[in-house]
């Protein structure tokens, strides 16, 4: 009996060790991926990583705080336009060019300010009203981007964004000119965001957000300032979404009004739901599913949107907890 008990006691350590081995294996595969695939699949991976960052930022609101937003593309678009304006239209653009040590801090500072301003109004609503107000705010920004042509480029967007961002420190600098180097830049930012959000959701602050999602009235009765917590989550989510928008602007060389449109928010919402809300891994799987299915289906049929729509209807019916729910269910059945 003592031997059995000792073996049982080692199970958590073995599971933790295997989890670490799995993470190391995934990191190893990610490191060799750009050297064993064609350029097309490398480009797909970059898109997936960018939209995974965007989806994780929305999941902080939807999955952890219970805020269903259809206007999250506002911060995605603001990040894209800030990066594009600094690197292509600003009078100091020739000096700043695409130095990420300049553009990313501006994005990380600018999108939270926008989130604070928007959140001051939208976080005073709940439920369907919150969803509609966030949608309205994003559509207002979309309209401004279309009409303010001399700043935003109008319907054509801001073009001329350098597709080879740089990191410059004094006389030293590095240019992410190749697809492989841009992939590693995106992968590095993805891992940094994932680690940061993991620390946030596992902290007392993150558990408070879960409490707001489950029963905000009870937390208010216990003395928690739920508006302040929701505002902080909204600001963090806005900053992360802005980083993904800036990456997309550099990747495609343009900041488009479509980045602000409600369909972009809807696509991120689908990613979170399809992957599994309330988990950081779920939005990553959802981003991969949505972007890969969209690209592969459009290759084989002109009616790819119908195929994608049917696929997500099936997700809602048969996998309401997303891909993470399916994987967990299979693991529990095996055990």
Query: 184-217: per-residue pLDDT in tens?
Result: 999 999 999 999 999 999 999 999 999 999 999 9
Residue 292 belongs to some domain of the structure? no
Q: What is the pLDDT of residue 98?
A: 76
Higher pLDDT, 295 or 47: 47
Please return the burial class of 26, using the count of CB atoms within 10 Å of its CB with bins 0-12, 13-18 and 19+. exposed
- How large is the average pLDDT for residues 268-292? 91
Residue 243 belongs to some domain of the structure? yes
Residue 246 belongs to some domain of the structure? yes
Residue 252 belongs to some domain of the structure? yes
Query: 73-114: per-residue pLDDT in tens?
Result: 999 999 999 999 888 765 544 445 678 988 999 999 999 999
**pTM of the entire structure?**
0.89
Residue 227 belongs to some domain of the structure? yes
Residue 269 belongs to some domain of the structure? no
Residue 34 belongs to some domain of the structure? no
Instruction: Give the count of domains, the chain.
Output: 1
Query: 105-149: per-residue pLDDT in tens?
Result: 999 999 999 999 999 999 999 889 999 999 999 999 999 999 998
Higher pLDDT, 252 or 88: 252
Does 293 have pLDDT greater than 90?
Answer: no
Query: Structural domain of residue 150, as residue ranges?
Result: 48-260
Residue 239 belongs to some domain of the structure? yes
Q: What is the pLDDT of residue 332?
A: 54
Distance CA 31, CA 306 (A): 35
């Amino acid at each position: 009996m003592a031997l059995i008990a000792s073996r049982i006691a080692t199970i958590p350590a073995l599971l933790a060790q295997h989890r670490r081995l799995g993470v190391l294996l995934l990191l190893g595969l990610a490191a060799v991926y750009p050297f064993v695939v064609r350029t097309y699949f490398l480009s797909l991976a970059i898109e997936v990583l960018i939209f995974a960052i965007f989806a994780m930022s929305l999941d902080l609101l939807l999955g952890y705080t219970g805020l269903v937003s259809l206007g999250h593309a506002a911060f995605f678009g603001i990040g894209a336009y800030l990066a594009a304006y600094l690197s292509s239209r600003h009078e100091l653009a020739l000096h700043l060019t695409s130095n990420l040590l300049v553009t990313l801090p501006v994005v990380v500072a600018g999108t939270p300010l926008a989130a604070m301003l928007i959140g001051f109004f939208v976080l005073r609503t709940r439920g369907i009203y919150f969803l509609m107000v966030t949608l309205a705010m994003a559509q207002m920004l979309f309209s401004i981007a279309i009409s303010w042509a001399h700043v935003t480029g109008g319907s054509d967007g801001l073009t001329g964004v350098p597709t080879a961002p740089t990191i410059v420190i004094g006389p030293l600098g590095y240019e992410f000119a190749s697809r492989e180097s841009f992939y590693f830049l995106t992968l590095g930012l993805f891992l940094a965001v994932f680690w940061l959000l993991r620390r946030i959701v596992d902290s007392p602050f993150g558990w408070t957000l879960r409490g707001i999602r489950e029963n905000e009235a009870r937390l208010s009765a216990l003395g928690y300032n739920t508006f302040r917590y929701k505002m902080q989550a909204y600001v963090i989510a806005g900053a992360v979404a802005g980083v993904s928008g800036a990456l997309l602007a550099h990747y495609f060389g343009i900041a488009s009004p479509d980045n602000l449109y409600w369909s972009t928010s809807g696509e991120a919402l689908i990613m979170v739901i399809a992957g599994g809300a309330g988990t950081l891994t779920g939005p990553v799987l959802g981003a991969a599913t949505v972007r890969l299915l969209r690209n592969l289906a459009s290759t084989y049929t002109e009616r790819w949107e119908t195929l994608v729509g049917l696929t997500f209807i099936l997700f809602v019916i048969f996998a309401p907890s997303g891909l993470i729910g399916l994987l967990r269910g299979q693991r529990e059945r095996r055990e």
